[in-house]
C-alpha cells in the first residue's frame, strides 16, 4: 500500500489539525501508511493545544500530487476548501461533519459523515468500533478539538455524542475538561483581540 | 420525529430493495419512524428472494415530497438515479458502496460509504456497531443482496468484508449459501434468457 497524506481544510482550526493526526494514527494502526499534514499554520488556539499536550506542529503542504497519489480528507470535503491540486489525486477516505457539496469521486471510497459537532467525535466512535485504544496525548488533542468546535459544548451544533466523547476523552487524557476548556478557548480569543488591535 | 422514506435506486436490483428494508429496520430500532419503499418493481431475482424468505414486496413510489420532508438513500447517491423529486426533499442519511457524484446537501447529514461489494455488507457492520440483532428472515435477504451484487463472491468488487458478512448472515438465516446462491442467481438469469428470447 503506498503512502497517503491525511489533512483537514485550509485555514485550519483545531479540529482540522487534530482530526488529521487522530485519523492518521487510527489508519496506521489498521495497516495504512499515512502522514498527517496541514494546509496552513495552526492558529493560536491550536498552537496552545499542541504545546499543552507536547505534540509537534504538523508539516504544512500546499500541493499533494508531487508526493502521493491518494489522500484522506478530514473535517471538510468541498474541493475549494482542500489542497490546491485536489483534482489531481484520488480521495480514498473522508471523515467529516459538514454538508456534502462540490465533492465527487470517480471510484467508490470510504466516507463517514455524521451531523455532530466535531470530526473528532466521529473519530472517537471509530476508534471504539475498531477497538483501537486512544493514547492519552491523542485523547487530549481530540478533546481539545471538540471543545473548540462546540465552544465547550455550548454551541447549537453540540449533540449528545459530542458530550459523551468529551467525558470519555477527558477521562483518558486525565484532564478536567471544564477548567482546561476555558484555558483553551481563552488562548484562541487572544488571537481575535490581537487581530482587532492590529 | 416525522416519518421518513428509505429507498434504493431506480430500476432496483436486490441490494436496492433489501438494503432499504434492512436500513429501515435498523433505523426504526434506533428510534426513527421510517418506511422502506422502492423506486420500481422488483426484478425476477429479487422476487425469488422475497418469495423465498416470505417477505412482502415493497410499495413503489415515484415521488417522495407529497408524503415526507426527509428521506434516506441506500445503494445510490446520484440524484439522477434517485426519486424524481429528490431536489424537493432533505436527504438525512445515505448508506452506499458507489462513487459519490451529482450529490450535495445544504445541511450536515449521516453518510456511510465503504468500497465493498454490497450495501448490505456495510449494513451488517452497522447492526454490529449498534448491537442490534438481525432477525433470521432479514439476514436471509441481506445474504441474498450480497450474493447478487458479488455474483456469489466471484465478482472483482468482492472484499473480505463481503465474504465475512455472507458467512455470518448465512449462519443467522440458517441456509447453505452456496446452494441457495446458485438458485438465486439462476432465478435472475431466467429473466435475461427470457429477454434475449423475446
Ligand atoms: Mn474545521
Ligand atoms: Mn470540525
Ligand atoms: Mn444496486
Ligand atoms: Mn449494491
Percent share of chain B, pLDDT over 70: 95
Whether residue B78 lies within 8 A of chain A, CB to CB, comes out as no
Whether residue B101 lies within 8 A of chain A, CB to CB, comes out as yes
Whether residue A30 lies within 8 A of chain B, CB to CB, comes out as no
Question: Across chain B, what does the average pLDDT equal?
Answer: 95
Q: Shortest Cα distance from B88 to chain A (angstroms)? A: 17
Instruction: List, in sequence order, the alpha helices (H) in B56-176.
Output: 119-129, 136-150, 160-173
Whether residue B109 lies within 8 A of chain A, CB to CB, comes out as yes
Whether residue B130 lies within 8 A of chain A, CB to CB, comes out as no
* Chain B residue numbers touching A106 (CB-CB < 8 A): 99
Nearest CA to B76 out of B48, B102, B57, B56 is that of: B102
All three cell numbers of A53, joined, read: 499536550
Rounded Cα gap, residues A27 and A139, in angstroms: 16
> What strands lie across the sheet with A34-36, from one edge to the other?
A34-36, A4-7, A70-74, A90-96, A110-113, B110-113, B90-96, B70-74, B4-7, B34-36
Say how many CB pairs under 8 Å bridge A and B.
64
Spatial CB neighbours of B154, under 8 Å, sequence gap ≥ 6: none
Residue B50 confidence (pLDDT): 98
For the cut 70, the answer to whether the pLDDT of residue B196 exceeds it is no
Residue B190 confidence (pLDDT): 66
Residue A193 confidence (pLDDT): 47
Q: What is the pTM of this model?
A: 0.94
Query: Looking at per-residue confidence, does B197 or B97 come out higher?
Result: B97
- Return the number of other C-beta atoms located less than 10 Å from residue B132's C-beta: 14
For the cut 50, the answer to whether the pLDDT of residue B108 exceeds it is yes
Residue B97 alpha carbon to ligand 4 centre in Å = 7
A65, A112, B41 from A37: Cα distances, Å:
14, 20, 49
- Among B99, B103, B129, select the one facing A106 at the smallest CB separation: B99
Q: Flag if A108 and B102 touch (Cβ within 8 Å).
A: no
Q: Shortest Cα distance from B113 to chain A (angstroms)? A: 5
Rounded Cα gap, residues B34 and B45, in angstroms: 25
Rounded Cα gap, residues B4 and B53, in angstroms: 25
Q: Is residue A72 within 8 Å of A27, Cβ to Cβ?
A: yes
What is the average per-residue pLDDT within B90-96? Answer: 98
User: Which residues fall inside 5 Å of ion ligand 3, going by CB?
Assistant: B 13, 15-16, 75
- Return the number of other C-beta atoms located less than 10 Å from residue B16's C-beta: 29
- Give the alpha-carbon dihedral of A30, B171, B57, B111, to 10 degrees: -10
The CA-based angle A41-A46-A49, given to 5 degrees, is 135
Query: pLDDT band for position B171 (50/70/90)?
Result: very high
User: Please, what sign has the CA dihedral across residues B73, B75, B79, B80?
Assistant: negative
Q: Which residue shows C-alpha cell 477527558? A: A170
- Among B106, B111, B129, select the one facing A111 at the smallest CB separation: B111
Tens-digit pLDDT string for chain A (198 aa): 799 999 999 999 999 999 999 999 999 999 999 999 999 999 999 999 999 999 999 999 999 999 999 999 999 999 999 999 999 999 999 999 999 999 999 999 999 999 999 999 999 999 999 999 999 999 999 999 999 999 999 999 999 999 999 999 999 999 999 999 999 999 998 644 444 444
Spatial CB neighbours of A59, under 8 Å, sequence gap ≥ 6: A35, A37, A38
DSSP state of B60: B
Whether residue A101 lies within 8 A of chain B, CB to CB, comes out as yes
Can you say whether residue A174 is alpha, beta or left, with left for phi > 0 and alpha for psi between -120 and 50 degrees?
left
What is the average per-residue pLDDT within B149-159? Answer: 97
Residue B198 confidence (pLDDT): 40
- Return the number of other C-beta atoms located less than 10 Å from residue B174's C-beta: 9
Q: Is residue A7 within 8 Å of A83, Cβ to Cβ?
A: yes
Nearest CA to B60 out of B118, B119, B11, B3 is that of: B11
Q: Is residue B90 within 8 Å of B71, Cβ to Cβ?
A: yes
Predicted confidence (pLDDT) per residue in B55-69, tens digit: 999 999 999 999 999
Q: What is the β-pairing status of strands B34-36 and A34-36? A: unpaired
Residue A190 confidence (pLDDT): 66
Amino acid at each position: 500500500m503506498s503512502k497517503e497524506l491525511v489533512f483537514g481544510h485550509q485555514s485550519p482550526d483545531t479540529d482540522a489539525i487534530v482530526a488529521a493526526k487522530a485519523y492518521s494514527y487510527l489508519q496506521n494502526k489498521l495497516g495504512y501508511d499515512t502522514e498527517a499534514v496541514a494546509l496552513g499554520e495552526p492558529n493560536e488556539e491550536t498552537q496552545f493545544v499542541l504545546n499543552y499536550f507536547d505534540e509537534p506542529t504538523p508539516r504544512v503542504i500546499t500541493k499533494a500530487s508531487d508526493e502521493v497519489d491518494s489522500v484522506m480528507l478530514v473535517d471538510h470535503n468541498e474541493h475549494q476548501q482542500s489542497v490546491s491540486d485536489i483534482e489531481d489525486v484520488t480521495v480514498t477516505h473522508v471523515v467529516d461533519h459538514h454538508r456534502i457539496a462540490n465533492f465527487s469521486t470517480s471510484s467508490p471510497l470510504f466516507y463517514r459523515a455524521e451531523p455532530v459537532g466535531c470530526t473528532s467525535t466521529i473519530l472517537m466512535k471509530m476508534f471504539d468500533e475498531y477497538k483501537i485504544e486512544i493514547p492519552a496525548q491523542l485523547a487530549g488533542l481530540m478533546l481539545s478539538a471538540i471543545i473548540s468546535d462546540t465552544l465547550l459544548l455550548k454551541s447549537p451544533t453540540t449533540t449528545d455524542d459530542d458530550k459523551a466523547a468529551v467525558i470519555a476523552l477527558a477521562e483518558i487524557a486525565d484532564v478536567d475538561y471544564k477548567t482546561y476548556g476555558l484555558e483553551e478557548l481563552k488562548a484562541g480569543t487572544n488571537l481575535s483581540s490581537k487581530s482587532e488591535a492590529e
